Amino acid sequence: MRPRSSFLLSVWVSVFSLTTFGMLGCQVSTAPVQSQAGTTTTIIIARHAERDPDEFDPPLTVEGEERAEALADALDENGVTAIFTSAFIRNRQTCDVLADRLGLEVQEFSQAEVAITKTWADGFVNSVLQNHAGGTVLWVGNTGPIIDGVQSGNMQELYLRLGGTGRSPTRYQDMYIATIPEEGPVRFVKTEYGGESSLDAN
């Protein structure tokens, strides 16, 4: 059987190669984030629910299933119009309960598409503002490895692209709600749902 460490390395090398192909020379925008004229757009950022941290792409644990239910309870009457996530089992299962209640299709980004997180975050925000102006969009994302003392990940990059400062939404219980007006800065509500997690260090 192939060692897990070698398998993970080859996966990430493959993902990096797929993502960078055709993206060389792309520049990430630093322009202010603003909704289309006459609209206010909302992006909600949450982490996938609890799973076995020792596996690469495991399903949710019982605790995670309970959090997925809690996410649906928190958002099923708050006007969510679109749900996006990365293509991990745990992410999809986190979204499924809410999607079923609302009759929405979960739209997935492949692991290759989210691998270069800054480029992905810029493109995602632009797409939401163009195609979901005036709507409420949920992103269920992932944290990444710690690089030079800073934890990376698509949630962190999305938060930064929206103009967020301070602690990014990395805990399982975090739910950050970004309200994007047609003029002026993005406003954040940093809230929590579902209670503390057994996997959170803080």
The pLDDT tens digits for 7-36 are 333 333 333 333 333 333 456 777 889 999
In a domain, 20, yes or no: no
In a domain, 70, yes or no: yes
Q: Residue written as tokens 């990014």?
A: 168
**Mean pLDDT calculated for residue range 120-127:** 97
The yes-or-no verdict on residue 168 having pLDDT over 70 is yes
41 contacts 134 by C-beta, under 8 angstroms: yes
Please give the mean pLDDT across all residues of the chain: 86
94 contacts 48 by C-beta, under 8 angstroms: yes
The yes-or-no verdict on residue 90 having pLDDT over 70 is yes
Q: How confident is the model at residue 152 (pLDDT cuts 50, 70, 90)?
A: confident
In a domain, 201, yes or no: no
Residue 66 structural domain? 26-192
pLDDT value for 130:
97
In a domain, 166, yes or no: yes
Say how many domains are in the chain. Answer: 1
- Which range has the worst mean pLDDT, 1-15, 32-46, 123-137, 143-157? 1-15
- Here the tokens at position 2 are 């192939």
**Mean pLDDT calculated for residue range 110-132:** 95
Predicted TM-score of the model (pTM): 0.85
pLDDT value for 147:
64
Q: What is the CATH number of the domain that holds 101?
A: 3.40.50.1240
